[in-house]
Amino acid sequence: MSNTNDLLFELGCEELPPTHLKTLRDALLQAVCEGLDEAKLAYGNTHSYATPRRLAFWIESVDAKQQDAVIEKRGPAVVAAYGPDGQASKAALGFAKSCGADFSELKTLKTEKGEWLCYNKLEPGQSAETLIPAIIEKALARLPIAKRMRWGDSDSAFVRPVHWASLLFGDRIIDTQFFGINTSNTSVGHRFHVPESFTISSASSYCDQLRQAYVFADMDQRRQTIVEQAEQAARAVGGQAHIDAELLDEVTALVEYPVAVTGSFDEHFLTLPKEVLITTMQTNQKYFPVLSKQGSLLPFFITISNIQSSNPTSVSHGNERVIRPRLSDAEFFWQQDNKLTLEQRVDSLNNVVFQHKLGSLGEKTTRVTALSSALAKQLGYDTDLAARAALLSKADLVTDMVGEFASLQGVIGRYYAIENGEPRAVAAAIEEQYLPKLSGGPLPSSETGQVLALADKLDTLVGVFSVGLLPTGDKDPFALRRASLGILRIIIENNLNLDLNALITLSCEQFTHAFDTNSTQPLVLNFMLDRLKGYCLNKGFSAEHIAAVASINCSEPVDFMNRIQAVQDFSALPEAASLSEANKRIQNLLKKAPANISDQLNADLLSDAAETELYQQLLRCESQAQASIKQQQYIAALKALSSLKEPIDAFFEHVFIMVDDEALKNSRLALLAKIHANFIKVANISMI
């Protein structure tokens, strides 16, 4: 046997859950690699495979056996190893026995702390064939499977019943069992095209052999094949395939041998909103819609079959028969929903629970309307549009269409608002209230949409905190982290002059249930500031720069970002390091100073040349710095203050601060406090 061999494993099952297939594939390979690492078996490149009916991996060049290892055991100290008569002590003899050796075989180990009896034993490495079954079995047991099932009269449990198992090491079968199935060197092809088993020639030929048996074992290759086929089919009808990434992953996990089939539907359905038709095709039927080059929907769809049919037209017609009633249902929902306006549905929200401690959606709507009006007024936006959009914002949640397709909330509201003759700004805001939906996703583009999105998220965030349902660990059922980050992004990226403290206070005032505002407000603020720190880290700012700004309790997100940018720019100046150290020294000195030290500056007492120069230089740059701070030009302020570097250095070099003269000492400390107070108006630069 060579020093290394390729390892191939395949587990054949009933159809695996498509939404978890990729996770299972990756977790299996990772766990096996970790097992090989623990066993100290080196290996080369790795390959993972998954289809609806199998999980498999190929690991190249796995060591055939472990390296031999010398195991050193340390025993009692030499001074305790012999009795008064010079014979071996009971402790020494006991140690030799525990090692399975004679006392004469023991050696002496010399260290800095003394000499010890020891025994070195050569531990032969085990063969990989002996270790691999347990490694794979452990990996299978660790797979992230929410609920395992049993089948037949077996006690084995897995995500789906297991039908075959293949395990090859080089050209040899590793003889073992998984889930009561004996391992072999055979696999099974496509359920319909090649249902017979065949012998796997080698790990390197596994994919090619399965391909000949109508199975694309490689998920990535299968995914790319689906994309290419869908795009080609769409071009054939004059359009382009609309391929949603999540749907593509799911379809890839549903087929072993993808074959694109084009179908069509009645053009009169195109009068429905495009999003309704697309959602129907994607969610219910797993079809890829076809769009024109202009982005409008065409009356075609593409389905991915798992079989090479001899009569593809029949497959197409079958899918057309299935989609027709689905689209008819959507058309019915549309017609029924439009019998009532959104405004007529608002009262129904009182019968829908938002959160049992926070009341109904109707009560939430009332709060959000008040918040939206206040925010619009503060920002100089149209308050009437904001109030109207907020009033209608949740009305589509009680429509049949959203009841069937929850993902269309907001989208359908926009369409119904337009049908009802509402202003375009109101209609757009109803959809934009849910933005951003994903991390880094699009933000509301309209003024009314920004206000409504802020009010809606703020109400949820403050409300849930007020009843004590704070996120813990990775559990965040109300998506409060996403809501908080959404608020911050809307404010920052639209340059809105808003203060988080004021927003939280305003939101707290809208609730009627009893809660402790004084404890809730800081909890919400700190939660949001933590998200702001994370946002800054993602933008490339350092933790030190973030801490320097966070330490001065800035609660205006736009102002926070301006300050942190200034701190980053300032840190690149040659004076930055010296001024940071000087501020650290000043802070340490002020810790022991009286609380009112800033009021004790008497310029007449400053007589040393270094301190008078520092005082005069401070007076010259202070007014310039203050003017810049008022205009939020923080880097200009810090650059003005950076002119203090040399006089500060000279002051610390030539002036003794802690003199016996109390008034002089306090004047010098007050001068330093005045310098620190100017810097701290931007950030605590001692932290950079």
Domains identified in the chain and CATH numbers:
4-66+127-212 (3.30.70.260), 77-123 (no CATH), 219-337 (no CATH), 346-540 (1.10.3210), 561-687 (1.10.730.10)
Rounded Cα distance between 10 and 362, Å, is 55
Rounded Cα distance between 415 and 434, Å, is 15
- Label the pairing between strands 162-169 and 181-184: parallel
Within its chain, how far is the Cα of 586 from the centroid?
Answer: 41
pLDDT at 113: 80
Query: Nearest 5°: CA angle at 288, between 282 and 293?
Result: 125
Cα–Cα nearest to 222, from 192, 190, 200, 194: 190
User: Residue 125 is which amino acid?
Assistant: G
Rounded Cα distance between 587 and 590, Å, is 5
Computed over every residue of the chain, the mean pLDDT equals 93
Spatial contact of 640 and 675, defined as CB atoms under 8 Å apart: no
Segment 134-150 shows an average pLDDT of 94
Given a cut of 50, whether residue 654 has pLDDT beyond it is yes
Rounded Cα distance between 647 and 672, Å, is 12
pLDDT at 57: 98
Segment 446-472 shows an average pLDDT of 96
Q: Phi and psi for 644 in degrees, rounded to 5?
A: -80, -5
Q: Cβ of 582: how many Cβ atoms within 10 Å?
A: 23
Spatial contact of 147 and 44, defined as CB atoms under 8 Å apart: no
| Token representation of residue 493 | 């990226």
More confident of the two residues 176 and 81 = 176
Chain segment 206-218, per-residue pLDDT in tens: 999 999 999 999 9
Which residues are 301's β-sheet partners? 263, 289
- Label the pairing between strands 240-241 and 172-173: unpaired
Q: Where are the beta strands (DSSP E) in 364-492?
A: none
Which residues are 73's β-sheet partners? 119
DSSP 126: P
Using CA atoms, how far residue 128 sits from 40, 42, 371, in Å, is 10, 10, 67
Cα–Cα nearest to 509, from 462, 471, 464: 462
Segment 350-376 shows an average pLDDT of 96
More confident of the two residues 323 and 92 = 323
Q: Where are the beta strands (DSSP E) in 294-362?
A: 297-305, 353-355, 359-360
Segment 467-494 shows an average pLDDT of 92
More confident of the two residues 522 and 594 = 522
Whole-number CA gyration radius for the chain: 36
| Token representation of residue 282 | 């994607």
Spatial contact of 96 and 105, defined as CB atoms under 8 Å apart: yes
Given a cut of 80, whether residue 650 has pLDDT beyond it is yes
Cα–Cα nearest to 20, from 215, 228, 219: 219
Q: What percent of the chain is modeled with pLDDT above 70?
A: 100
Rounded Cα distance between 118 and 576, Å, is 58
398: Cα within 13 Å, side-chain hemisphere: 22
Q: Phi and psi for 87 in degrees, rounded to 5?
A: -90, 160
Give me the count of residues in the chain: 688
Q: What pLDDT band is residue 2 in, cutting at 50, 70 and 90? A: low
Listing DSSP states for 511-571 in one string gives --S---HHHHHHHHHHHHHHHHHHHHHHTT--HHHHHHHHTTT---HHHHHHHHHHHHHHH
Spatial contact of 233 and 260, defined as CB atoms under 8 Å apart: yes
Rounded Cα distance between 68 and 123, Å, is 6
Segment 14-34 shows an average pLDDT of 96
Residue 84: asked if its preceding bond is cis (omega within 30°), the reply is: no
Which residues are 657's β-sheet partners? none
Helix, strand, coil: what percent of the chain each, to 5?
55, 15, 30
The least confident of 242-251, 478-487, 644-653 is 644-653
Cα–Cα nearest to 333, from 382, 385, 273, 376: 273
Given a cut of 60, whether residue 1 has pLDDT beyond it is no
Chain segment 180-203, per-residue pLDDT in tens: 999 999 999 999 999 999 999 999
pLDDT at 546: 95
Given a cut of 50, whether residue 547 has pLDDT beyond it is yes
User: Residue 140 is which amino acid?
Assistant: L
Within its chain, how far is the Cα of 403 from the centroid?
Answer: 29
Rounded Cα distance between 671 and 327, Å, is 78
Rounded Cα distance between 561 and 536, Å, is 8
Segment 403-424 shows an average pLDDT of 96
Segment 256-270 shows an average pLDDT of 97
Rounded Cα distance between 256 and 52, Å, is 7
Contacts of 21 (CB under 8 A, 6+ apart): 50, 52, 219, 253
Q: Phi and psi for 295 in degrees, rounded to 5?
A: 95, 0
Rounded Cα distance between 178 and 140, Å, is 9
> Helix, strand or coil for residue 89?
coil
Tokens 């990756």 sit on residue: 26
Contacts of 465 (CB under 8 A, 6+ apart): 480, 520, 523, 524, 527
Within its chain, how far is the Cα of 202 from the centroid?
Answer: 39
DSSP 159: S
More confident of the two residues 392 and 93 = 392
pLDDT at 98: 86
The distance in angstroms from the start CA to the end CA of the chain is 61
Rounded Cα distance between 210 and 684, Å, is 64
User: Residue 198 is which amino acid?
Assistant: F
